[in-house]
Chains A and B, each alone.
Chain A
Amino acid sequence: MTDTAWIDAALTSARPQAVGALLRYFRNLDTAEEAFQNASLRALKSWPQNGPPRDPAAWLIMVGRNVAIDEVRRTRRQEALPEDEAISDLDDAEDALAERLDGSHYRDDILRLLFICCHPDLPATQQIALALRVVSGLTVKQIARAFLVSEAAMEQRITRAKARVAAAGVPFETPGAVERSERLAAVAAMIYLIFNEGYSASGETSEIRKPLCEEAIRLARLLLRLFQSEPEIMGLTALLLLQHARAAARFDAAGELVLLDDQDRTLWNQKMIAEGLALIDKALRHHSSGPYQVQAAIAALHARAAAPEDTDWAQIDLLYGTLEIMQPSPVVTLNRAVAVSKVRGAEAALEMIEPLGERLSNYFHFFGVRGAFLMQLGRNEEAGVAFDRAIALANTSAEAAHIRMHLDRLIRDSQPRGTKASKK
């Protein structure tokens, strides 16, 4: 491995803390990012010669701050200055190092940095793009690639997002307890979005988008390290790990989606599963349930089943029932119905999803699942209609291909057979 690869990893790992601290000093995202950028350039020169510093983040904060201050001094005559207060504690290396040890500052810096990316005015895609750029430090090119858009389009998206954030102002005061927990919830939701952006990729793009899942897990672990006793953050991290553990089994060689029941479970990543299960164990001790924990618990029941028939569907049914109360949504009910079909049969499941038809009339999975239930009941003609509708609504070619496989089966044999339509 080259020196540069090591330095890259060190810069990536120090970035959230360093940019977060610089943002606190300068109260301007662009200035903070630029300061970090300059410090990184100096690191690339200095670290290979002098060896990496013991505390890369503190080094980058100090150097970034000093370079930016010099810059301000140089342009002092041409531009309006930031308020003195914002730059009053300059050149004070010891201060920077002392602050490094102050865990609460560090924690709020990173949380603030993540939080400004999930400004409610920003559409979800801009939030994710901004967080990947600012917090994770991915290049615009990398982000554009993951989103399957052109670099120019992504550049524009990020620029717009930054302009909105700048207009909103940086919430630099140390948050109170209520604010902090609100920020935490918003940030958790954004991390989940990043993950889903990678997870919902189709077969042909899943490899390209996998880094999004990995980055989301890294951010979730980071957040959990800052807030070690938050059961929902444990739940979120567990959920991401347990879902991503199945990544290698989710697509076949042709890039077709492989549903849970058909996956080669030996391809599941046992290390991620172990970490996910450990986190759920920890979360449960707090007796303070929440949607991420419940979803993680569902994923855990799948992860614990060595074979599909070992799955504890009754427990999954119960957990979806809990989730329905916490977060009522037709999609949750639809997922529950899949569990119900395994426990009480397709008839009961079909009855359960019938009222959802109106709200999910444009939802691919609704018709896929409905078709599968009908097929189980031997109502092949109706099943065929549902599958046709599903194909028309498919978001990816992999989804369409999967339903077509069902249709082929319908035509091939008139015998009802076991459903394959669990949530992917």
Chain B
Amino acid sequence: MLYAILCYHDEDLVGSWTREQDADVMTKLAVVQDKLKKQGRLGPVARLLPTTAATTLRKDDPPVVLDGPYAETKEQLLGFYVVDCKNLDEALDVARDLGAANPGGAYEIRPVGLFNPGDTQT
């Protein structure tokens, strides 16, 4: 079963990491991802640009375009993973590994209902 692991964290805080801290986190996360990749369990991974770059389209009639992210929250959606896991326990294990590499914030683990891997090249 595919699980989406949605990464929430305070983006002010993440934005205050030094270049070295950021690089350190990315290196540690790469180790966890490599392990999953070797097992053929790693789907798409995305790190999103800051919420200041976000635009929201409210599907009113007519649709309304708003600046910024959909929700004003203390912690923001900063990225996600899609991982193949047998069950929730396994997905939680992956999230724990990722969390050990990148402490702080929270992961929301959501089973994927429909998955289209797409074919974009960039």
Contacts and interface: CB of A to CB of B under 8 A. Distances in A.
Interface of A: 1, 5-6, 9-10, 12-14, 52, 54-56, 103, 214, 218, 221-222, 224-225, 228-229, 234, 237, 271, 274-275, 278-279, 282, 285
A218 B15 contact: yes
Given A9-B21, A56-B13, A234-B67, 12 more contacts: A5-B18, A9-B13, A9-B16, A13-B13, A218-B16, A221-B50, A221-B52, A225-B50, A225-B68, A229-B66, A278-B49, A282-B55
Given A13-B10, A52-B104, A225 B52 contact: yes
A10 B49 contact: no
A121 to B, nearest CB: 30
Interface string B58-84: 000000011110001010000000000
> Interface majority SS on A: helix, strand, loop or mixed?
helix
A275 B13 CA distance: 18
A6 B104 CA distance: 10
Contact of A12 (B16, B24, B65): B16
30 contacts: A1-B21, A6-B21, A6-B103, A6-B104, A9-B13, A9-B18, A13-B12, A13-B15, A14-B13, A56-B13, A218-B15, A218-B16, A221-B50, A221-B52, A224-B52, A225-B50, A225-B51, A228-B68, A229-B66, A229-B67, A229-B68, A234-B52, A237-B52, A274-B49, A275-B50, A275-B53, A279-B52, A282-B53, A282-B55, A282-B67
Nearest to B10: A13
B17 A9 contact: yes
Contacts of A103: 72
A1 B13 contact: no
Contact of B67 (A221, A228, A275): A228
Contacts of B15: 13, 218, 221
A111 to B, nearest CB: 15
B75 to A, nearest CB: 9
User: 3 tightest A-B contacts by CB?
Assistant: A13-B16, A228-B68, A278-B53
Contacts of A282: 53, 55, 67
Interface string B88-108: 000000000000000110000
Contacts of B72: 103
Contacts of A52: 104
A9 B16 CA distance: 5
